[in-house]
Amino acid sequence: MKISGNNFKIFIFTFASILLGVFFWDKINLPYSNPENIYGVLSINKFNPINNDLRFLTFITLIFGVFSLSLIYYKKNLSTFNEIIFFKKNDENIENYKYLNIVFIIFLTLITFEFLSISFPLNLIDFFHEGEWLSPAKNYLITGKIWSGAYFVHGAFFDVFNPVIAWKIFGKETIGSSRLFIFVLIFFTKVLSLILTFKIAQFIKSDETTKIVYFALISISILFLSEYQFGHSRSYIRYTDLPILVFLIFSAEIILRKNKNHYGFLIGLISSISLVFTVDRGVYVNILILFLLAYFLLRKEFQIVILILLGLFLSWALLYILIGSKEFGFFLKNTYQWGVLHKDFLDSFIYPTPFIPGTGCGLADATCSGNLRATRGILIVIISGLLTIYSLLVKNENKD
């Protein structure tokens, strides 16, 4: 009864923190400021974009903080800070998990058949969203200019090179070829998502049956979050997330396994590539690289730190050499303006209050159609965060 009672108390405190976070959500409301006079949904509603970030951070910090403190207070067999940070890396071989490998191959075969069997929809062109990358791509073929020839709001790969590569591969400058290439990218997104889940399953400290169950359940969930769509995709995992998936796969190898230091160099190489791919994902990747550097400095794994820094230097040096000083200057300007200064006003909405229908609409969306999708998104963050905290802190439930 003691274990059940403690678990119930943890649940109650965590649930109460969610309710408290929902209550304070709309109370966080900074004064409106738009010095550049940028027009968009947020400016129409006189809404400060920092509110979205501050509300989200406050919400998840409250929940994760209360959950962590509850575990520390009510659980006994907890991992120490040193055990979490300075754990012993795994040296097991992949070949040790024969049946897990078989399940991985089955899933890989299924998503391959899915890709080969999808029908190509004859949709009308989405002038706004597809025009975002078709126009800069055509402009690049005519002028040879990238950032100096157009101001685009996603990234050079998304808005320029995506259609150009498709046209070069298929030999046709058509909308259909660019759409087919997007489907190819979505397929690779599914494959990398599968690989990432497989890597995590390998490192779970449990028997092979548990690894297989975890891998199968998470893989099914993740694969349903990525759909074959073009134009304005509403999938939770999109092909624009490819740099993040690559970073996470490399990071899993270098953090959890011995003798994988060379992945540090590859992680450094991702730095400029991710920003060229899409600006927002690139910003996330580069912030994560900084955290990774701090982590390995804390562990005193200086060889990995040096390899990451070498990769970073080579990544940016090659970009500068390949595109030239003029384009590099426009790249930095475009990235800073879009990724830091203007993105929230140009490409953001009022994030709905979690679990409360009819909120976050503003004047631009009277139907509040994005509310359910936003709630599902924040639920995924909460659940994954709670599971991560529990797996890091709690050693063995049976010893509690």
At 323-363, the pLDDT tens digits run 888 989 888 888 877 666 677 777 777 888 888 776 665 44
pLDDT in tens, 112-122: 998 888 877 66
Phi, psi of 262, rounded to the nearest 5 degrees: -65, -20
The DSSP-derived string for 11-35 is HHHHHHHHHHHHHHHTT--PPP--T
Rounded to whole angstroms, the Cα distance separating 218 from 387 reads 13
Read off the pLDDT of each residue in 112-138 and give the average, rounded to a whole number: 77
Sign of CA dihedral 57, 374, 22, 365: positive
pLDDT in tens, 141-154: 888 888 888 777 77
258 C-beta neighbours (distance < 10 Å), count: 11
pTM here? 0.81
Read off the pLDDT of each residue in 180-194 and give the average, rounded to a whole number: 90
Residue 94 has pLDDT above 70, yes or no: no
Read off the pLDDT of each residue in 86-94 and give the average, rounded to a whole number: 63
Q: How confident is the model at residue 36 (pLDDT cuts 50, 70, 90)?
A: confident
Residue 365 has pLDDT above 60, yes or no: no
Read off the pLDDT of each residue in 37-61 and give the average, rounded to a whole number: 85
Domain locations in the chain as residue ranges: 1-75+375-400
Residue 274 has pLDDT above 70, yes or no: yes
Q: Which of 61-65, 121-125, 242-246 has the lowest mean pLDDT?
A: 121-125
Residue 31 has pLDDT above 70, yes or no: yes
pLDDT in tens, 11-28: 899 999 999 999 999 898
Residue 65 has pLDDT above 90, yes or no: yes
Could you tell me how far CA 369 lies from the centroid of its own chain? 23
Which two structure tokens, joined as six digits, stand for 107?
């899933």
Mean of per-residue pLDDT scores for the chain: 82
